[in-house]
Amino acid sequence: MTVADALSDRRSCRSFTDQPLAPGLLDDLVDRARRTPTAGNCQGVEFLVLEGKGVVDYWDVTLPVDLRETFPWPGLLVAPVLVVPWGMTDRYLDRYGESDKVNAGLSRSAGDWPVPYWLTDAAFAAMALQLLVVEAGLGCCFFGLFGHEGAVAERFDVPEGARAVGAVAIGHPDLTTARSSGSAERGRRPLDEVLHRGEW
């Protein structure tokens, strides 16, 4: 499978079987996903990998039981693996204070950064992970933490200052219960609408 194939084939999968991943595969996927570019070569993305009770706890923290009956994607909760890439803010603040980076003028204060590179890098890693999952013949869905980032950090002892861009559910797609979504049904915008040649 080429990268182009993986990009074309990938669609968000929101319905999984409980079949576990092949032994060793998850570590291999994360090891490859962390090779994406990072600002200043900070390598400041770390991965919270959840299986078994970790997955149960994740949903307990982010989706109260009384809301599950109306949750439109029950098959998402079955995914055997969740990976949450975190941008380790302090690594970036430290790195851009080093002598070869200090001229970039990025402040020690995270809120002053025009682009928070820790989020950029975490998003890159999340995308690479999704392509690798497709290449491995599995399904995945990237989804937001919404207001639950702090609660997830607390439950799993994530260090202060770390920021999550989202979570990636990974597993074997359950084609028997798969259904479409309002988002998925939106057509792809024509290339001419998004490609601006020379000027907008």
Ligand X SMILES: Cc1cc2nc3c(=O)[nH]c(=O)nc-3n(C[C@H](O)[C@H](O)[C@H](O)COP(=O)(O)O)c2cc1C
Interaction site with ligand X (CB under 6 A): 11-12, 14, 141-144, 166, 183-184
Question: Rounded to the nearest whole angstrom, what is the least distance from the CB of residue 183 to ligand X in the complex?
Answer: 3
Question: Rounded to the nearest whole angstrom, what is the least distance from the CB of residue 85 to ligand X in the complex?
Answer: 12
Residue nearest to ligand X (CB): 183
Question: Rounded to the nearest whole angstrom, what is the least distance from the CB of residue 10 to ligand X in the complex?
Answer: 7
**In the 3-class helix/strand/coil scheme, how is the chain assigned residue by residue?**
CCHHHHHHHCCECCCECCCCCCCCHHHHHHHHHCCCCCHHHCCCEEEEEEECHHHHHHHHHHCCHHHHCCCCCHHHHHCCEEEEEEEEHHHHHHHCCCCCCHHHCCCCCHHHCCCCHHHHHHHHHHHHHHHHHHHCCCEEEEECCHHHHHHHHHHCCCCCCEEECCEEEEECECCCCCCCCHHHHCCCCCHHHHCCCCCC
Question: Rounded to the nearest whole angstrom, what is the least distance from the CB of residue 94 to ligand X in the complex?
Answer: 27
Measuring CA to CA, which residue among 2, 16, 3 is closest to residue 127? 3
Nearer to ligand X, 175 or 184 (CB): 184
Question: Rounded to the nearest whole angstrom, what is the least distance from the CB of residue 110 to ligand X in the complex?
Answer: 20
Nearer to ligand X, 96 or 142 (CB): 142
Question: Rounded to the nearest whole angstrom, what is the least distance from the CB of residue 166 to ligand X in the complex?
Answer: 6
Nearer to ligand X, 23 or 147 (CB): 147
Nearer to ligand X, 12 or 177 (CB): 12
Measuring CA to CA, which residue among 26, 9, 154, 24 is closest to residue 83? 26
* Spatial distance between the Cα atoms of 109 and 93, rounded to a whole number of angstroms: 7
Nearer to ligand X, 14 or 172 (CB): 14
Nearer to ligand X, 16 or 96 (CB): 16
